[in-house]
């Protein structure tokens, strides 16, 4: 996708906030504990390479991504620290990961056997982390027999280096710990079945760490916290209290490209879902659902100059309209998402308006919106 560099609309990322969030979490690490920065999905929409390099300077020991392609992007950018792919990678791509020193998650025994064939053909060894499905229902070993068989298969196996074993918690961001404790118990049971010895055993995601769940973990997989966002962002409910202060890094800014007066009975946008009840000032902002600014934002208030103005009419593919309190000049700054959590258009407020979570809002903002980095 071609970035829209010839229109006034950008995602701004404050790298000083990224540095601060990572550095504060590094201070909380236990002795010998590592921090792996999770930069999947283009660093949750913030930009994988700038965020990864900033995280390194702040003390990150490695990285987690979702796809092998994301790992290769980091390697091509000159990053040499450990990288773990958390999702399932096709077994035939195991040699490619091995060549680039990328660690892969193992979802089951069948994958191991398939990957072994490809690795033996190339005479390569792959670093692996055994995924345990302790209750997420996503990927990983969940049955004792299969896990025991995998341990036996890996014993003295030259095709694999057992770098890690991990699970992912489904509800570490919840005040109700019953399911969380069930997952902990299940993971501990699987650890007792180990006959091989992984280098790292890790369970901590951002939530488990910042809410002090106190489960032993050699690695903290620090994800949403990097970006200054609380992992307990459930729609229309208050955040749980985090053990460290998080500073949001992302804002979305544009400006007015057109201002006009409409009259009583005039409609705005497709379907004329908004009709003026008198003379009104309407401003146009050059951002739309093709950028990830969804049609459901109709009615949400964005900051135009010093005023919070409602989006009127349906959000178009490339533009949306706002009702202004008075005539404002073309070029007036518009803040769609503020990185100030006290502002009413912060990213959690935007997510609440859509009845979703701020992870999704950040990831929706696509590459047609250029990223601009402040405080590098």
User: Residue 212: what pLDDT?
Assistant: 85
24 lies in the same domain as 102: yes
- pLDDT, mean of residues 13-37: 97
H helices, E strands: number in the chain: 11, 20
Q: What is the mean pLDDT of residues 329-354?
A: 97
Q: Are residues 272 and 223 in the same domain?
A: no
Query: For residue 318, what are the domain limits?
Result: 250-338
Q: Are residues 179 and 62 in the same domain?
A: yes
Q: Look over the chain and give the mean of its residue pLDDT values, rounded to a whole number.
A: 96
Pair 202, 330 in one domain: no
Please give the span between the terminal C-alpha atoms of the chain, in angstroms, as a whole number. Answer: 25
Residue 8 lies in a domain: no
In a domain, 367, yes or no: no
pLDDT of residue 236: 61
Same domain, 27 and 159: yes
Within a domain: 276: yes
Residue 8's nearest CA partner among 313, 340, 372, 303 is 372
Residue 239 belongs to a domain: no
> Do 174 and 67 fall within a single domain?
yes
Question: Among the options 32, 34, 40, 359, which is catalytic?
Answer: 40
Residue 40 is among the residues annotated as catalytic for this protein: yes
Same domain as 300, residue 179: no
Query: What is the pLDDT averaged over residues 249-257?
Result: 98
Say if residues 225 and 209 touch (Cβ distance below 8 Å).
Answer: yes
Percent of the chain with pLDDT over 90: 91
- Over 90: is that where the pLDDT of 376 sits? no
| Domain harbouring 266, CATH code | 2.40.37.10
- The pLDDT assigned to 243 comes to 85
Domain-embedded: residue 101: yes
Same domain, 205 and 282: no
Is residue 70, in this structure, part of any structural domain at all?
A: yes
Q: What is the pLDDT of residues 55-92, one digit of tens each?
A: 999 999 999 999 999 999 999 999 999 999 999 999 99
Predicted confidence (pLDDT) at residue 259 exceeds the cutoff of 80:
yes
Q: What is the pLDDT of residues 222-234, one digit of tens each?
A: 999 999 999 987 7
For residue 367, CA distances in Å to 4, 14, 363, 375 come to: 8, 17, 10, 21
Please determine, for residue 141, whether its predicted confidence score (pLDDT) is greater than 90.
yes
Is the pLDDT at 198 greater than 80? The verdict is: yes
> How wide is the angle at C-alpha 369 spanned by C-alphas 102 and 357, nearest 5°?
70
Q: Which of 113, 152, 158, 270 is catalytic?
A: 270
Q: Provide the pLDDT confidence category of residue 177 given band limits of 50, 70 and 90.
A: confident
DSSP code string of 25-94: HHHHPPTT-EEEEE-HHHHHTT-HHHHHHHHHHHT--EEEESSHHHHHHHHHTT--S-EEE-SPPPGGGH
Rounded to two decimals, the pTM is: 0.95
Q: What is the mean pLDDT of residues 337-365?
A: 96
| Structural domain total, the chain | 2
**Is the pLDDT assigned to residue 266 strictly greater than 80?**
yes
Backbone angles phi, psi at 38, to 5 degrees: -90, 110
Three-state DSSP at 160 gives strand
* In-domain check, residue 361: no
In terms of domains, do 218 and 263 share one? no
157-162: average pLDDT: 97
Instruction: Tell me if 359 is assigned to some domain.
Output: no
274 catalytically annotated: no
Rounded mean pLDDT of 292-313? 98
Residues 339, 251: contact at Cβ < 8 Å?
A: yes
**Residue 237: what pLDDT?**
64
pLDDT at 223: 97
Answer yes or no: is pLDDT of 51 > 70: yes
């Amino acid at each position: 996708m071609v970035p829209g560099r010839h229109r006034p609309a950008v995602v701004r990322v404050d790298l000083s906030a990224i540095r601060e969030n990572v550095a504060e979490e590094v201070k909380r690490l236990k002795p010998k504990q590592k921090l792996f920065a999770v930069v999947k999905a283009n660093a949750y929409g913030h930009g994988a390479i700038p965020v990864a390099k900033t995280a390194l300077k702040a003390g990150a020991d490695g990285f987690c991504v979702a796809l092998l392609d994301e790992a290769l992007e980091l390697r091509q950018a000159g990053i040499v620290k450990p990288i773990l792919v958390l999702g399932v990678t096709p077994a035939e791509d195991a040699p490619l990961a091995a060549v680039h020193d990328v660690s892969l998650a193992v979802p089951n025994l069948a994958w191991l056997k398939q990957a072994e064939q490809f690795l033996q053909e190339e005479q390569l060894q792959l670093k692996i982390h055994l995924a345990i499905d302790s209750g997420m229902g996503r990927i990983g070993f969940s049955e004792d027999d299969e896990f025991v068989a995998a341990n036996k298969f890996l014993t003295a196996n030259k095709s694999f280096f057992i770098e890690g074993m991990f699970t992912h918690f489904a509800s570490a961001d919840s005040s109700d710990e019953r399911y969380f404790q069930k997952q902990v118990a299940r993971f501990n049971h699987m650890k007792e079945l180990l006959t091989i010895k992984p280098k790292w055993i890790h369970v901590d995601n951002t939530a488990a760490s910042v809410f002090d769940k106190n489960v032993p973990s050699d690695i903290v997989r620090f994800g949403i916290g990097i970006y200054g966002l609380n992992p307990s962002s459930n729609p229309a409910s208050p955040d749980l209290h985090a053990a460290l202060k998080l500073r949001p890094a992302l804002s979305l800014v544009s400006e007015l490209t057109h201002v006009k007066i409409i009259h009583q009975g005039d409609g705005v946008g497709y379907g004329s879902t908004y009709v003026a009840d008198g003379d009104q000032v309407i401003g146009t902002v050059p951002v739309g659902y093709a950028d990830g600014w969804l049609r459901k934002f109709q009615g949400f208030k964005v900051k135009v100059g010093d005023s919070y103005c409602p989006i009127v009419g349906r959000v178009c593919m490339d533009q949306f309209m706002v009702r202004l309190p008075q005539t404002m000049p073309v070029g007036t700054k518009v803040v769609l998402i503020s990185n100030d959590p006290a502002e009413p258009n912060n990213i959690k407020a935007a997510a609440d308006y859509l009845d979703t979570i701020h992870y999704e809002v950040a990831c929706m903002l696509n590459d047609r919106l250029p990223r601009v980095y402040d405080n590098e």
